[in-house]
Amino acid sequence: MTALIRAERLGIHRPGTTEPVLDNVNFSIEPGEIVTVVGPNGSGKSSLVRALLGHVALAAGRVMRLTGLRIGYVPQRVHIDTAMPMTVRRFLSLPRRVADAEAAAMLRRVGVEGVEQRQITQLSGGQFQRVLLARALLHDPQLLVLDEPTQGLDQPGIVAFYKLIEQIRAETGAAILLVSHDLLVVMRASDRVLCLNGHICCEGTPQQVSSAPEYRALFGAESEGTLALYRHHHDHDHDHDHDHDHGADHHGDHGHPHDAHPRGHHHA
Ligand SMILES: Nc1ncnc2c1ncn2[C@@H]1O[C@H](COP(=O)(O)OP(=O)(O)OP(=O)(O)O)[C@@H](O)[C@H]1O
Ligand SMILES: [Mg+2]
């Protein structure tokens, strides 16, 4: 198996019921890929992520993970016990101890240098997300799984965050599985997009998915113009500090327009 993780005909039920949350999902992620999962609230994105990580029971199908796969995971929600004091420094050493220098370098890397002695509960939302990312990266992951990682970040923070993700991929070769609502921005950074709504509605390159009727039906007004914007950004990148865009092709479409059919999965 070359894939880091592969799911076949995956089904998940709402806990304690036979009500499906996900049905017949086939998914895999290869080394070095950036794959983004989009879909409305409640469409099963976090459930898919947790199933891939082995955190929820499957109702159907199977999940295979490469033996010994190192995964860095930033969950959508983290329960922090506000009654228990915990510094950033201590949090970074859970569950595995890391050296001071390593912790400091990683905090600098994710843009929150010097916060070691701050209490976790006193960080801003955006600072906390960066600390979570730092903790995930400290384990030198082959696969980084990020569930809505830009929550609490401001707009420049979001853009910087995705640049950082692309840099990490370029430097470490880690694959990245991303759940996100930042449609336009994630599309630019992704190799492949998967649109979920209890099943896979459509998947393909960002361009294929943004032009898919299934995607438009799901995101409605929000997706209006996404493709146009996507093309515009690729043709005219005004972002001068962004020299190398690994995920995107700025110079138009080398493929044939007729090839741009997404793989639509129509649900019975
Ligand atoms: N622990 C749980 N107990 C009961 N229902 C659950 C549980 N986890 C998920 N669900 C249900 O499964 C469905 C999918 O939830 P999930 O969290 O995977 O959606 P999501 O796509 O990540 O949504 P969001 O965009 O809001 O994060 C929802 O209807 C949710 O209520
Ligand atoms: Mg979720």
93-132: pLDDT as tens digits: 988 899 999 999 999 999 999 999 999 999 998 899 999 9
- pTM of the full structure: 0.82
CA of 40 to the centre of ligand 1 (A): 11
pLDDT digits (tens, 9 = 90+) for 1-46: 689 999 999 999 999 999 999 999 999 999 999 999 998 889 999 9
Per-residue pLDDT for 138 more than 50? yes
Q: Which domains does the chain have, with CATH numbers?
A: 5-70+140-264 (3.40.50.300)
In ligand 1, the atom with minimum distance to the C-alpha of 14 is 5
Q: Which atom of ligand 1 is nearest to the CA of 40?
A: 25
Where does ligand 1 bind, in terms of residues with CB under 6 Å? 14-15, 21, 39, 41-47, 76
- The answer, yes or no, to whether residue 224 has pLDDT greater than 60, is no
CA 152 / ligand 2 centre spacing (Å):
15
Pocket test for ligand 1, best of 41, 47, 76 (most atoms within 8 A of CB): 47
Tell me the pLDDT band of 237, cut-offs 50, 70 and 90: very low
Q: CA angle, 105 as apex, 104 and 111 as ends, to 5°?
A: 90
Over range 127-155, report the average pLDDT.
92
- Give the model confidence (pLDDT) of 180-189 as tens digits: 877 777 777 7
Q: Which residues neighbour 230 within 8 Å (Cβ) at sequence distance 6 or greater? A: 184, 187, 188, 206, 207, 210
Question: DSSP string of 88-129?
Answer: HHHHHTSSS---HHHHHHHHHHTT-TT-TTSBGGGS-HHHHH
Nearest Cα neighbor of 159 from 132, 127, 186, 125 is 186
Transcribe 41-67 into DSSP letters: TTSSHHHHHHHHTT-S--SEEEEEE-T
Give the residue, out of 13, 14, 182, with the most ligand 1 atoms within 8 A of its beta carbon, to mutate for a pocket test.
14
248 has pLDDT over 70: no
Which contiguous run of DSSP H or E holds residue 229? helix 226-235
Quote the pLDDT of residue 160. 85
**Which residues, at least 6 apart from 80, have a Cβ–Cβ distance to it below 8 Å?**
86, 120, 121
pLDDT for res 258: 39
CA 98 – ligand 2 centroid, Å: 29
Contact status, residue 128 vs residue 107, Cβ threshold 8 Å = no
Determine the pLDDT at residue 22. Answer: 97
